[in-house]
Amino acid sequence: MRLEKSKLSNLGLLEKQRIRFSVPESDWNDWHWQLRNRLRSLEDLERYFHLTGDEVEGVKLALQGRTLPLGVTPYFASLMDPIDPGCPLRRQGIPTSKEGMVGSSDMLDPLAEEADSPVPHLVHRYPDRVLLLVTNNCPMFCRYCTRRRIVGQTNEVPLPELEPAYNYIRKHRRIRDVLISGGDPLTMSTERLEEIVRRIREISHVEIIRVGTRAPVTLPMRVDDELVSMLKRYHPIWMSLHFTHPNEITPEVEAACSKLADAGIPLGSQTVLLKGINDSPLTMKKLMQRLLRIRVRPYYLYQCDLAQGISHFRTPIRKGIEIIESLRGFTSGYAVPTYVIDAPGGGGKIPVSPNYLLMHEHGRVLLRNYKGYIYEYRER
């Protein structure tokens, strides 16, 4: 394995240092090989990266079990800058000592998922939909993970342990939408994932099945013909993806998303607003526009949660509002996600928007448009 220069000219990216893994192409494109060869130790990282002291300390904390485990696929590592610690993709995969700092507002379970869990592995917060957690494993352990209290502790949930969840869904006929998440469900074999999808699809009142995954971004070779063929058998299937930065959109990622979209699977992206990674209007605009080009609809822009050890990633709320204002009217409406705060304590997603409604009284409404001009609308 060696360091080389390469230019991603087809994506319009600047020339940068790239890590090259000297392995056969057949191995590189094998998602099982990628998972087996994740960078999991200090030695692994030091083989390819010039680590800072802050990063070395962060890796040690992760290896001691004091923070989120360490794990980066070779594919995603190849996109990181081996020299620059400020690389937005590198900051997502390589821990720093800041993860060991717990702020006064930090919470172990910031979204109170455990309080809304009527049976193991199931979260029922909203009336007509539930979250089914089927694994604690991920291709890459993103350093801002909100579910870091459980991710990486074990691997797949034993299938018999999901029986109470199936029974709960079956008994509650208001549930029409099931989101399969984790961890990342696409770390499981296609056969195992199909068993879960099949059991849910057998419940007559479940209309929609969603799969929440970041694998098409961190492990795009996971989206193979076998997976896509299986998912097509259980329509309507939707997929919630998780993009963070425009540099994540590579030819491999585009190919993976094309396979899914061509199979009739609607794709949406949930992006977390992260300080120093994507908290600029220009970066976010590039990301949202590139997502549309690969047929992924920007869905949510999340304010970073109050999980322990990730306060260094959080931005002020005004930054998120500023970004939405920079998108609304200045690019396609399809490229404007809904900015939300997932309320601490289990309050659910609350939309936060710029103030375009200036006055509403006596049937008279004053509105501000994206350029700042004021307009009047009369209700009668």
Catalytic residues: 125-126, 129, 138, 142, 145, 147, 305, 342, 349
Residue 140 CA to residue 55 CA, distance in Å, equals: 17
Beta-strand (E) ranges in 21-174? 122-126, 129-133
Burial of 174 (0-12, 13-18, 19+ CB in 10 A): exposed
Query: How many Cα neighbours within 13 Å face the side chain of 325?
Result: 14
Q: Is the torsion defined by CA of 324, 328, 332, 333 positive or negative?
A: positive
Beta-strand (E) ranges in 242-373? 267-273, 297-303, 338-343, 348-351, 357-361, 364-368
357, 362, 375, 378, 380 from 369: Cα distances, Å:
9, 21, 8, 16, 21
State the alpha helices, DSSP H only, in the chain. 25-28, 31-36, 42-46, 53-63, 74-77, 90-93, 163-171, 190-201, 215-218, 225-232, 251-262, 281-293, 317-327
> Is residue 31 a contact partner of residue 224, using CB atoms and an 8 Å limit?
yes
Nearest to 160 by CA among 120, 206, 117, 113: 120
Residue 204 CA to residue 200 CA, distance in Å, equals: 9
For residue 28, what is the DSSP state? H
138, 197, 230, 320 from 70: Cα distances, Å:
10, 29, 31, 29
Task: Report which residue type is found at 176.
Answer: R
The encoded tokens of residue 122 equal 């199931």
Phi, psi of 375 (to 5 degrees): -130, 150
For the CA atoms of 186, 190, 193, 195, what is the dihedral angle to 10 degrees?
Answer: 180
Look-up of token digits 């998108």: 327
